[in-house]
Amino acid sequence: MSEPTVTRKLMLFFPRCECEKPIIYHLVKDYGLVVNVFRAKVTPEEEGYLVLDVTGTESDIEKALAFVKTFDVKINAAGKGLHWDAGRCTHCGVCLPHCPTEALFYGNPDKREVAFDEDKCIECLACIKVCPFNACSSAF
């Protein structure tokens, strides 16, 4: 039986530019990963970041991460580029229709208490713009 595939969300931080190297290409070509990039900013002479989903077998993902580590890149495997601050959120819910994946939702509908499902977040950043209370912020 073949090894099952998993999806992992990764946040890659480029302290200085490694952008001349086609890292993503190698993830796809050499390790057979399916890559879904949510956000990227990789500009010469600047700090950069890349937030992406990779789908593949555990062993291929491990090998791919080992490859990424050979560059000057920091990997945050628990990587969330979007932070929802439960303390700042007033649970008004004004963000809900703006969230395309329902990552922001009523966790407790009776109390109308807003919750955030990090796994559903695609980091479109719509919530940052519409939140009146600055409850959502981006790591970048």
Partner 1 sequence: MKSYEEINRKIAAGDAVVMTAAEVAGYVERKGLEAAAREIDVVTTATFGPMCSSGCFLNFGHSSPRIRMTEAWIQDVPAYAGVAAVDLFIGATQLRHGDPANMNYPGEFAYGGGHVMEDLVSGRELQLFALSYGTDDYPRREVRTYFTINDLNQAIMVNPRNCYQNYNVAVNLSDKTVYSYMGTLLPQARNATYSSAGQLSPLLNDPHYDVIGIGTAIWLAGARGHVYAEGTQHCAIADRNDYGVPSEGAGTMALTADMKQMIPEYVRGVSLRGYGVSLALGVGVPIPVLSPAHLQRACIRDSDIMAPVVDYADDYPENSGRILKHVSYAELKGGGFELNGKEVAAASISSYNKALKIAHRLADEIRRGDFLLAAPLGSLPRESRNRPLKIREAAQ
State yes or no: residue 129 binds partner 1 (CB under 8 A): yes
Q: Is 43 in the site for partner 1 (CB under 8 A)?
A: no
Asked whether position 133 contacts partner 1 by CB under 8 A, the answer is: yes
Which amino acid type is present at position 79? G
When binding is defined by CB under 8 A, the residue of 97, 101, 102, 119 that contacts partner 1 is 97
Which lies closer to partner 1 via its Cβ, residue 66 or residue 92? 92
Q: Is residue 94 within the footprint of partner 1 (CB under 8 A)?
A: yes
* Residues between 109 and 128 with contacts to partner 1, criterion CB under 8 A: 111-114
CB 50 to partner 1: min, Å: 26
Candidates 9-17, 41-49, 64-72, 105-113; binding stretch for partner 1 (CB under 8 A): 105-113
Residue in 28, 35, 65, 96 binding partner 1, rule: CB under 8 A: 96
Q: Which residue has the tokens 């990227």?
A: 40
DSSP string, the chain: -PPPEEEEEEEEEESS--TTS-HHHHHHHTT--EEEEEEEE--TTS-EEEEEEEEEEHHHHHHHHHHHTTSS-EEETT--SEEE-TTT-----TTGGG-TT--EEEEETTTTEEEE-GGG-----HHHHH-TT--EEE--
